[in-house]
Structure 1
Amino acid sequence: MVQSLNTTAELTAQGISYLGIGAKYGKILVGDRAFEFFNDNNVEDYIQIPWQNIIAVYVHVSGKTVSRRFKIKTDKVDLNFSSKSSGNILKIMREHLGNDKILRMPTLWDTTRSHFKHK
């Protein structure tokens, strides 16, 4: 059985982890000490990321709409997740990480514009 890093769970939501080939469905748990993902089908398949190991969280934003997908960049690896509750998950993560670590992913237009600005 997996031991959670958190002492209190602030939010639990259905989510998808995109690690390796394919998607894994499970539960996302955001708590006082870490971001955690637990696979529904395999109890031994889990991801635990303490808050101090997270460098940044990237999310697609279009207008005022927040995408379901987000990427967590850690000191070792980048992990992609998706959830219908991504807005609530990101709000709680912002409380633990601060505004400077929750970042908007650049759009195709932003990337193209910056490419021509530097030439």
Structure 2
Amino acid sequence: MSDSRSGKAETAFRTIGELSRELGLPQHRLRYWESRFPQLRPVQRAGQRRYYRPEDVALVRRINDLINVQGYTIRGVQRVLAGNAAPQPAKRRDRGSELRRIRDRLAAALAADDR
């Protein structure tokens, strides 16, 4: 059975470029994650070319979901993957509401100056 995103079989190894395109992540982020998560160890062949096994691809997808979707920090994902108690995801600020609040305060200050 092939993976519809890459056209490769699900059991095929993927290069860092293929995995990067498949997940929409820059290659340097995948290399950084390799330095932060000891569980992520793609096969390296001649010329240090990385080949991600299916289990590596699944792990990268999980890390990506935890960080970029659920809002975990690197440290939080390390704890989750180590099997320690799962911490709560980092609280992300709602930048939109924060900016609207600032805009409203500025508008009120300008309106007060016009009077």
Pairwise same-fold verdict (TM > 0.5):
no
Q: Which has the higher contact order (CA 8 A, sep 6+)?
A: 1
Bin the TM-score by the shorter chain.
under 0.3
Q: Which has the higher helix share?
A: 2
Q: Which has the higher strand share?
A: 1
Rg (Cα) greater in structure = 2
